[in-house]
Amino acid sequence: MTKSVDFSAETLARLAEADVARALAEDVGTGDLTAGLIDPGRSSRAQVLARESAVICGQAWVQAAVLQLDPDARLSWHVQDGERCAANQVVLELQGRAQALLTAERTALNFLQLLSAVATKTARYVEAVKGTRAQIVDTRKTLPGLRLAQKYAVRTGGGTNHRIGLYDAVLIKENHITAAGGVTAALQAAERVVRQASFVEIEVETLAQLEEALNADAKMVLLDNMDLPTLREAVRLNAGRAVLEISGGITLEGLRALAETGVDRISIGGLTKDVKATDFSMRFEEL
């Protein structure tokens, strides 16, 4: 199975600092011309409001965006990562140099709105399969450069992380099988790298391929785009021998029925690929 990603506070802080440094460089460039109109000695207070109910995620990124510009700024969170906020609730209060808060505003909100959206969507899918054995799992369909941030958001929403990249696990898909010369040949070739991988998984499209994979001692099998009767038969044939994962064309509306087939994991690219940003706004007050 997947190795657990280290999302300790220290790791999150380092990850967020690097992500935010890139984002600020992109946004600020040679300087914030508009914030430069403000007296550099002026201080301000601000509030971040959630315009809709959501699972909050992204505190480390907001902190980094503000503190990289004003190390003395103070942030007071009213809702923590993983907790749900209500519409129109104040989730964060800030105090610091007005210029810094203004420059940090968009970068901070961009991270907060994206990561909260991923966490909120994941929580919705996790709730839909509650009471079944199925875990909700992410994929590599992430925004370039923000994979770990989005995988943290999936975890915050109650989901499970799949492989992080091409380097930490083996996932043998249709093209790999064709190139290798078949299911058995691909699994045999995987034995050469099995010690480097946190898991070896193979994708199958038919029950015949599933049986071949199981006979070749597959430990994880991805059932791709199978209908409900075929999935139920796959679970019966498997009889607990391998971890069964399903993927392909999954919607929230059909999710419960898929989970009730008895599969172990449901991987959903839409958790990180097709997200609608959560609506937040920042409002300033004079001191």
Of 203, 245, 264, 265, which is the active-site residue?
A: 203
Q: What is the pLDDT of residue 194?
A: 85
pLDDT digits (tens, 9 = 90+) for 157-189: 999 999 999 999 999 999 999 999 999 999 999
pLDDT digits (tens, 9 = 90+) for 199-242: 999 999 999 999 999 999 999 999 998 999 999 999 999 999 99
pLDDT digits (tens, 9 = 90+) for 56-114: 999 999 999 999 999 999 999 999 999 999 999 999 999 999 999 999 999 999 999 99
Please tell me the pTM assigned to this model.
0.94
Q: Is 41 helix (H, G, I), strand (E, B) or coil?
A: coil
Q: Could you confirm whether 141 is annotated as catalytic?
A: yes
What lies within 8 Å, CB to CB, of 232 at 6+ separation is: 261, 262
Q: What is the DSSP string of 147-215?
A: HHHHHHHHHHTT-B---SSTTS-EEE-HHHHHHHTSHHHHHHHHTTTTTT-S-EEEEESSHHHHHHHHH
Maximum C-alpha span of the chain: 72
Of 14, 74, 133, 173, which is the active-site residue?
A: 173
Q: What's the rounded Cα separation, in Å, for the pair 46 and 67?
A: 14
Say which CATH superfamily domain 127-273 falls into: Aldolase class I (3.20.20.70)
Q: What is the pLDDT of residue 5?
A: 79
CATH number for the domain running over 9-124+275-286: 3.90.1170.20
- β partners of residue 266: 136, 246
Q: Could you confirm whether 203 is annotated as catalytic?
A: yes
Domain layout of the chain by residue ranges: 9-124+275-286, 127-273
CB 16 within 8 A of CB 67: no
Q: What is the mean pLDDT of the chain?
A: 95
Q: What is the pLDDT of residue 4?
A: 65
Q: Could you confirm whether 217 is annotated as catalytic?
A: no
Of 45, 84, 106, 147, which is the active-site residue?
A: 106
Structure tokens given for 195: 């010690």
